[in-house]
Amino acid sequence: MSKKALIIIDAQNDFVDPAGALSAPDGQSILDPIAKLMQEDTWQCVAMTRDWHPSNHVSFAKNHGVRDFSSFTYHSPVRGREKDVQEATLWPVHCVQGTWGAKVVGQVFQAFQSLKKPSLLVDKGFLADREYYSGFTDIWGEHQTELQSFLEQQGVTEVYIVGFVLEYCVKHTAIDASKSGFKTNILCKYTKTINSEEEVIFKVKEELRQRGVTLVD
């Protein structure tokens, strides 16, 4: 019988609250459902990721003197891989360590703290020189978080991912989970998008399916 883990992605004020820097439309509507979901007996363990940036993080447009949402070319910070590049978007300042925007929203955090089963809070994005989307690793696949080792220690074979937002951190966490050999599912009714364009979301979902991720409506 497979052991299942629930992974909650970035349920933080800046992604959820209407006053947040990168808030998902109607994000607050899934908070109570997520809080209830993590209490179910289905899960061998629960992990929750948190964007946790220093103020000088490379992903902030402000730190490059350009407008929010500008296009940008990242160069790998890894010695010997400086010629590796990735095209990306620069963001408004968000989820800075110790700020209101970085806090996990109340009912989700309270439910997480009350868990009697194994649980792990995973910080990502705390290295200033590299971007992170996935809960497993930075965009260069170089710096690993504790997430994979935690899941392996718990004997997990299947993961269910929820949270914020589908196009970025949910997607990349799911792709990395699938690559790591976990049977990977996204629970769509517990997940929000930041983009309202149907064509964009359709392409994201198609990419996920092609990468071996199951989308559960």
124 in active site:
yes
169 in active site:
yes
Region of 145 on the Ramachandran plot (φ > 0 left; ψ -120 to 50 alpha; else beta): beta
45 in active site:
no
Q: Which helix (H) or strand (E) holds 172?
A: helix 171-179
Q: Give φ, ψ of 85 to 5 degrees.
A: -130, 155
Of the residues 95, 169, 176, 192, only one is catalytic, namely: 169
Query: 3-class DSSP state for residue 47?
Result: strand
∠ CA 159-104-18, nearest 5°, is 110
Of the residues 124, 138, 171, 176, only one is catalytic, namely: 124
Give Cβ neighbours of residue 203 (< 8 Å, ≥ 6 apart): none
CA 74 to each of CA 77, 120, 124: distance values in angstroms, whole numbers, following the listed order: 9, 30, 18
Of the residues 4, 10, 45, 176, only one is catalytic, namely: 10
Q: Which helix (H) or strand (E) holds 124?
A: strand 119-124
Spatial contact of 69 and 90, defined as CB atoms under 8 Å apart? yes
Query: What type of residue sits at position 47?
Result: A
Q: Are strands 43-51 and 4-9 parallel, antiparallel or unpaired?
A: parallel
Sign, Cα dihedral of 41, 107, 11, 28: positive
Question: Catalytic amino acids?
Answer: 10, 124, 169
